[in-house]
């Protein structure tokens, strides 16, 4: 927790949270992995101190590959020392990669089986949210699953205090989620055991080749 606060203070907007996610939310975010047979290629975006990373690492099978993208150097060093170096020893070189940088700029694989995203979307400008979702959806194979989360009721509860621009951003986020849900399968689940309570959202990318990976533009 102290590590989270120290590194978060250097980039409050990018971190966008008051505490790391709970084990209950982490289990929910990583749950789609267990239903995937065989070797899996996984991307985690925005791990912070690694509550989701820890569950993903424990779920890895022989032959799986994991890319982790984080742009805060303090969090990267913390992950490398505390978790990744230990897990790498038991695996093939290159199976677990830490991509230090912005998810919009680092080189990604073209077709991950699963993406676990811990980014604080309510803090970002709408064009940035659109660009990140576009990049993630187009890096997910058809039939692959992506999870992200938002805080439960935060949209409504914040609305009176965040001004016209903030309200427009929240409306744009709700619009984006609805647009994704019209083209791809979308499932939400409330996780009360988190501070604050959260909604885990799972998107299964459509296998229809005509489906858009940027449906909010339609
Ligand atoms: C809300 S914290 C979440 C940390 C962790 N997943 C959790 O749930 O506790 C968001 C993390 O995303 C990282 N981040 C924000 N924007 C990013 C971007 N564009 N590319 C890569 N990492 C980013 C931040 O540095 C921070 O570590």
Q: Is residue 214 part of a domain?
A: no
Structural domain total, the chain: 1
Q: Is residue 213 part of a domain?
A: no
Ligand 1 contact, 103 CB (< 6 A): yes
Pairing between strand 198-204 and 140-151? Answer: antiparallel
How close is the Cα of 146 to the center of ligand 1, in Å? 16
pTM: 0.92
Distances from the Cα of 132 to the Cα of 10, 143, 217, angstroms: 22, 19, 14
State the burial class of residue 131 (Cβ atoms within 10 Å of its Cβ: 0-12, 13-18, 19+).
Answer: middle
Q: Which of 46, 56, 67 has most ligand 1 atoms within 8 Å of its beta carbon, as the pocket-test mutant? A: 46
The atom number, within ligand 1, closest to the CA of 69 reads 21
Per-residue pLDDT of the chain (218 residues; tens, 9 = 90+): 666 566 555 666 666 666 899 999 999 999 999 999 999 999 999 999 999 999 999 999 999 999 999 999 999 999 999 999 999 988 988 999 999 999 999 999 999 999 999 998 888 999 999 999 999 999 999 999 999 999 887 666 666 667 777 788 888 888 999 999 999 999 999 999 999 899 999 999 999 999 999 999 87
Q: Is residue 162 part of a domain?
A: yes
Q: Any residues with CB less than 8 A from the CB of 118 and at least 6 apart, and which?
A: 21, 29, 44, 45, 46, 47, 48, 52, 148, 149
- Residue 148 and residue 21: Cα distance in Å, rounded? 12
Ligand 1 contact, 120 CB (< 6 A): yes
Ligand 1 contact, 17 CB (< 6 A): yes
The closest of 106, 132, 150, 148 to 213, measured between CA atoms, is 132
Q: Is residue 212 part of a domain?
A: no
Q: Is residue 215 part of a domain?
A: no
Q: What is the CATH number of the domain that holds 153?
A: 3.40.50.150
SS3 18: coil
Q: Is residue 82 part of a domain?
A: yes
Ligand 1 contact, 191 CB (< 6 A): no
How close is the Cα of 45 to the center of ligand 1, in Å? 7
Q: Which domain holds residue 113?
A: 2-206
Q: Any residues with CB less than 8 A from the CB of 81 and at least 6 apart, and which?
A: none
The atom number, within ligand 1, closest to the CA of 52 reads 6
Q: Is residue 217 part of a domain?
A: no
């Amino acid at each position: 927790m102290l590590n989270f606060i120290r590194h978060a203070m250097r980039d409050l907007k990018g971190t966008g949270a008051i505490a790391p996610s709970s084990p209950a939310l982490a289990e929910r975010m990583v749950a789609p992995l267990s239903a995937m047979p065989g070797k899996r290629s996984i991307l985690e975006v925005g791990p912070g101190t690694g509550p989701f990373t820890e569950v993903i690492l424990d779920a890895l099978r022989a032959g799986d590959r994991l890319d982790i993208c984080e742009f805060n150097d303090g969090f990267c060093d913390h992950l490398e020392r505390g978790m990744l170096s230990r897990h790498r020893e038991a695996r093939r070189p290159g199976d677990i990669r830490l991509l230090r940088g912005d998810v919009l700029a680092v080189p990604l694989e073209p077709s991950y089986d699963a993406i676990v995203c811990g980014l604080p979307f309510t803090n970002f400008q709408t064009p940035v949210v659109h660009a990140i979702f576009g990049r993630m959806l187009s890096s997910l194979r058809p039939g692959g699953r992506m999870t992200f989360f938002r805080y439960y009721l935060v949209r409504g509860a914040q609305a009176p205090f965040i001004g016209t621009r903030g309200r427009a951003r929240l409306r744009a986020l709700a619009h984006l989620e609805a647009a994704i849900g019209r083209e791809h399968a979308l499932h939400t689940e409330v996780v009360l055991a988190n501070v604050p309570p959260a909604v885990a959202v799972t998107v299964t990318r459509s296998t229809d080749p005509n489906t858009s990976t940027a449906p909010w533009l339609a």
